[in-house]
């Protein structure tokens, strides 16, 4: 949100991939003002500077844009069905919809080379579980012998894309001249329930952990609202760039397990944590 700094940095680059955002269900629900103002102001500073300098921007949005819409695979033209404004969860989608509208508005009015991407549950090593990201949280619990916390009954499904595949898609979208002015979903279309994910993590980590169910009302305040399903239609991305995901959810789990174990060893050496036997 430092206008002078952003402007100076943009002057020296060929293009900008705007990934910065407040993210994570817990953080979004607990800090609605920060979520709205940081995402909106930061996006405004970046996109206005880039438009003035005629620098291409790849703006990372989110599958949360679709809200409660869960009927089959979602394509970029699917209607958005957001919950009540009183529900804090939708602050994130609201802030990201502003970014999308601004990016596409600059394209229409000024010819700015802005492309919007909607990410569906990107996962991989170095991701934190602190703010609600489910896979790193599950893996950390499994490798330390703790119960894996599943909110609700675990039947809700998600599609997880390995970060390496997501990065590949992002880089491909920087190339075509026909990408700016359009929106693209990025994600894997293989669905898995959260309970199945928990069990898969336990198995692949070789853990003795159990699954512990926690009711939503005990985990979050009244600002939370769960979604049953979210699956991307990535036809537009595939047709334009030829992109296909190369890694499975098992590959992502294995990479996160390796990272978390290495991180625990590092913490133990520093005297910060005792590693479970």
Catalytic residues: 92
Least Cα distance to 50 among 18, 96, 95, 97 occurs for 18
Least Cα distance to 223 among 91, 105, 127 occurs for 91
- Residue 256 structure tokens: 């996160």
CB 46 within 8 A of CB 57: yes
Q: Give dist(CA 128, CA 134) in Å, integer.
A: 9
Strands 16-18 and 161-162: unpaired
CB 174 within 8 A of CB 56: yes
- Residue 4 structure tokens: 């002078």
Q: Give dist(CA 179, CA 58) in Å, integer.
A: 10
Specify the DSSP element, H or E, that contains 133: none
Least Cα distance to 120 among 65, 194, 43 occurs for 65
């Amino acid at each position: 949100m430092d206008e002078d700094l952003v402007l100076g940095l943009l002057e020296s680059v060929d293009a900008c991939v705007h990934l910065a955002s407040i993210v994570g269900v817990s953080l979004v629900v607990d800090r609605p003002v920060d979520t709205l103002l940081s995402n909106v102001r930061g996006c405004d500073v970046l996109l206005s500077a880039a438009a003035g300098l005629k620098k291409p921007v790849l703006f990372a949005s989110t599958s949360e844009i679709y809200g409660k819409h869960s009927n089959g695979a979602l394509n970029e033209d699917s209607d958005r069905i957001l919950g009540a404004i009183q529900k804090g969860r939708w602050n994130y989608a609201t802030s990201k919809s502003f970014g999308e509208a601004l990016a596409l508005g600059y394209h229409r009015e000024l010819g700015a080379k802005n492309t919007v991407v909607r990410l569906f549950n990107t996962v991989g090593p170095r991701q934190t579980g602190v703010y609600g990201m489910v896979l790193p949280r599950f893996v950390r619990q499994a490798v330390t012998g703790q119960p894996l916390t599943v909110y609700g009954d675990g039947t809700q499904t998600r599609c997880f894309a390995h970060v390496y595949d997501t990065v590949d898609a992002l880089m491909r979208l920087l190339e075509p001249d026909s990408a700016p002015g359009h929106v693209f979903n990025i994600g894997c279309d293989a669905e898995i329930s959260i309970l199945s994910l928990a069990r898969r993590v336990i198995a692949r980590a070789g853990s003795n952990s159990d699954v512990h169910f926690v009711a939503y009302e005990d985990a979050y305040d009244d600002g939370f609202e769960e979604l049953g399903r979210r699956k991307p239609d990535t036809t537009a991305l595939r047709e334009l760039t030829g992109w296909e995901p190369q890694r499975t959810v098992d590959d992502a789990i294995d990479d996160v397990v390796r990272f978390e174990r290495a991180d625990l060893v590092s913490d133990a050496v520093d005297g910060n944590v005792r590693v479970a036997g």
